[in-house]
Amino acid sequence: MHKLFETEHLSAFVLDQTGARQLLAYELRNRETFRQYSIARNDSYFTLANFLYVCEKQHRLYEQKRKLPLVFTKKNGGALVGTVNLNEIVLGVFRSCTLGYSIDTSLQRQGYGKEAVSSVLSYAFDTLLLHRVEANIMPRNEASLALASSLNFCNEGLSKNYLYINGNWEDHVNMVLLNDTLDMQRIH
């Protein structure tokens, strides 16, 4: 993994295969909490071989400028604090992506999520020159909705039966943040 940037309390690293063990440990540690908001995962998902594959695939998408897969640690190192991903990056006249994030269960509601996601949004708007970032959040995920709202995401409505989560089609709130200061002349 290579460090992309630092925030006041965190270091952001681009995920690659060298982070597979840390990411696997993070996912195992948070498996029960994340289960309610994630697709169903069987035991074969939680293996080092699978995480080596996942990390390699995500890094390949990063190299193609289609994804920004980041993991965060505290500045002094240690275990992963969380993940933030810019997925499905589309440039050109669309300049948009979807946002996904997770924070270690033991560190939720302590400001780490807001600091990590806020820093990635700044990177998305200032470095990648994106115009639109979407976060689709299950209505019952109150902590995630509160985080998005605190970062000035706007609720654009409810997407009915948006994703198949643990055996059910789940509605999602479509939260959006726009980069109103993007100068398209700067891109050309």
- pLDDT (tens digit, 9 = 90+) per residue, 5-42? 999 999 999 999 999 999 999 999 999 999 889 888 99
- pLDDT (tens digit, 9 = 90+) per residue, 90-148? 999 999 999 999 999 999 989 999 999 999 999 999 999 999 999 999 999 999 999 99
The DSSP string of 85-145 is EEEEEE-TTT-EEEEEEEE-GGGTTTTHHHHHHHHHHHHHHHTS--SEEEEEE-TT-HHHH
CATH number of residue 173's parent domain:
3.40.630.30
Q: By C-alpha distance, which of 153, 96, 98 is closest to 129?
A: 96
What domain range includes position 135?
2-187
Structural domain tally of the chain?
1
What's the whole-model pTM score? 0.94
